[in-house]
Structure 1
Amino acid sequence: MGFPGTWMTESESVVYRVVPKCACSTIGQIMYYSDQGAYFDGDIHDAKAGIHKWALDASQPKIEANVKAHKSYAFTCVRNPYTRILSSFFDKICGVQRNGKRYRGNMVPLLIQKYGIEVGGDDGKEEFDQIRSFRRFLLFARDTIRWRRPMDPDIHWSAMSGHISTFIVNGGRYDHIFWTEKFNEGMQTVLDAIPMAHEVALDAVPRFNESEGHGPRRAHPVEDYFDDLSMHLVYEIYKRDFQLFRYDFEDPSNKMPIGEIDLDEVHAKLGD
């Protein structure tokens, strides 16, 4: 299976396991800059050179050899499950993507038809009941994850622990896992631990939020989207994420972690 979703600088200074919707665009650009001295012109997900990615055939042997020997510092980044699934809804379901089309072609029409959701019209700009539609989307996300229907789960809303575990199961080990909510602090820990051809000043890094502006703006506080049933569904889907990465399941309004991540526990529980 190898190391899907794994990126590495060309200099092999650092290895990163991408977790979608967890600042991956910003992290990829920082890695790119640390080697190249400039940011990639465009979405870093489109870069085919200047950074190694498992999705690029030529990069695979280099990533595999590095990770299995633990030659370089390896890390990943996580996010509160409540805000992550909300972000996925507004970006991937309600939003029009960079190519001017809906994400995954027929998925949104399927959701409108089978789950009765609204997405704000063709351009995502019309008024609609965001809370009702989000809760219906949550049922869909649960159905994809639990029963793989009406389609397989999407990387943007499948559990973070699932993404993170493939790296461990196939022979990798993380040196650091940090929270999107404490991004500068966590990313600085990584930068302090690796050699860089070009120093990165985190305070000067632009936020490369590729999803910003694609869809409607969130009209309500996070907690308004989650009633008792929604919280139950979220826990069913993301129980391990809450537990391992120390997020507060009881209070959707609290996006901050409530404890420290135990790397040994993560490796033990996700390495089976």
Structure 2
Amino acid sequence: MGFPGTWMTESESVVYRVVPKCACSSIGQIMYYSDHGEFFDGDIHDAKTGLHKWALDPSQPVISDNVKAHKSFAFTCVRNPYTRVLSSFFDKICGIQRNGKRYRGNLVPLLIQKYGIEVGGEDGKQDFDQIASFRRFLLFVRDTIRWRRPMDPDIHWSAMSGHVSTFIVNGGRYDKIFWTEQFNDGMQQVIDAIDTPIEVKLDEVPRFNESEGHGPKRAHPVEDYFDDLSMHLVREIYKRDFELFKYDFDNPANKMPVGEIELDEVHAKLGD
């Protein structure tokens, strides 16, 4: 199985397990900068050089050796499940992707046909009932995760604990897990814990939100999208995420964590 979704600086100063929709563009660019003194020109997900990635065959043995021996500081970053799944909907389902096309080709037509979802027309710019469509999207998410129908779950809305766990199950150990909602604090702690070839001054780093502008703007507060039924679905899908990463299930309006992440608990519960 190895370490899917794992990135590492070429200097091996730090190892990062990517969790989609959790500031991964910013983190990847910071890692790239810390080795090269410049940011990658483009979306860091497209970089084929300058950063070790598990998806690149030559990087796999280097990452594997490092992680299994815990040679470098290893971390990941998580996000409130309510805002994460909402962001996935606007970015991946309603938005036009950076290649100018819809995400995953026939996925959106399938959702329109089978679940009655609207996405704001051809360009994602027209008005539509965002709340009704999002709640139908949640049904689809539940179907993919629970029954793998009408397709396997997508990495952008599958549970964060699933992403985080593969690293542990295959022999890795995290030194830090921090929250997107307190990004600067968490990322600074990572930077303070490692030695990088180039000094990183976090307050001078631009934010790389690659999904920004892909889809329509959210028209309502987060809590308006979640009624009793959709909260029930969210609990069914993301129960472990709320528990392990200390988010507030009972109040979708509160995106901030309500407790401290216990690394030992995460390793114990996700390592089996």
The equivalent residue for 1:193 is 193
The equivalent residue for 2:45 is 45
- Per-residue CA deviation, residues 88-132 of structure 1 (Å, 9 max, x unaligned), is 000000000000000000000000000000000000000000000
* 3-state secondary structure, aligned to 2:234: helix
* 3-state secondary structure, aligned to 1:57: coil
The equivalent residue for 1:179 is 179
The equivalent residue for 1:155 is 155
Give the 5 Å matches for 1:94-109: 94-109=94-109
Q: Note the C-alpha offset of 1:197.
A: 1.1
Write the letter of the residue equivalent to 2:197. A
Write the letter of the residue equivalent to 2:83. T
Inter-partner Cα distance in structure 1 for 2:201 and 2:228: 42
- Per-residue CA deviation, residues 59-107 of structure 1 (Å, 9 max, x unaligned), is 0000000000000000000000000000000000000000000000000
The equivalent residue for 1:32 is 32
Deviates more, 1:144-153 or 1:199-208: 199-208
The equivalent residue for 1:260 is 260
Q: Note the C-alpha offset of 1:196.
A: 1.0
Q: Note the C-alpha offset of 1:204.
A: 1.1
* 3-state secondary structure, aligned to 2:58: helix
Match status 1:130 vs 2:130: yes
* 3-state secondary structure, aligned to 2:149: coil
The equivalent residue for 1:237 is 237
The equivalent residue for 1:72 is 72
Inter-partner Cα distance in structure 1 for 2:97 and 2:14: 30
Inter-partner Cα distance in structure 2 for 1:124 and 1:88: 14
* 3-state secondary structure, aligned to 1:269: helix
The equivalent residue for 2:248 is 248
The equivalent residue for 1:146 is 146
* 3-state secondary structure, aligned to 1:65: helix
Structure 1: gaps spanning 5 or more residues: none
Q: Note the C-alpha offset of 1:25.
A: 0.2
How many residues are aligned here? 272
Inter-partner Cα distance in structure 2 for 1:133 and 1:83: 16
Q: Note the C-alpha offset of 1:203.
A: 1.0
Task: Normalising by structure 1, report the TM-score.
Answer: 1.00
Inter-partner Cα distance in structure 2 for 1:264 and 1:244: 10
Inter-partner Cα distance in structure 1 for 2:61 and 2:16: 16
Task: Normalising by structure 2, report the TM-score.
Answer: 1.00
Structure 1 runs of 4+ off > 2 angstroms?
Answer: none
- Per-residue CA deviation, residues 197-235 of structure 1 (Å, 9 max, x unaligned), is 111111111110000001100000000000000000001
Write the letter of the residue equivalent to 1:214. H
Write the letter of the residue equivalent to 1:101. K
* 3-state secondary structure, aligned to 2:128: coil
Inter-partner Cα distance in structure 2 for 1:113 and 1:131: 18
The equivalent residue for 2:62 is 62
Give the 5 Å matches for 1:9-20: 9-20=9-20
Structure 2: gaps spanning 5 or more residues: none
Deviates more, 1:38-47 or 1:201-210: 201-210
* 3-state secondary structure, aligned to 1:110: helix
The equivalent residue for 1:203 is 203
Inter-partner Cα distance in structure 2 for 1:211 and 1:133: 19
* 3-state secondary structure, aligned to 1:256: coil
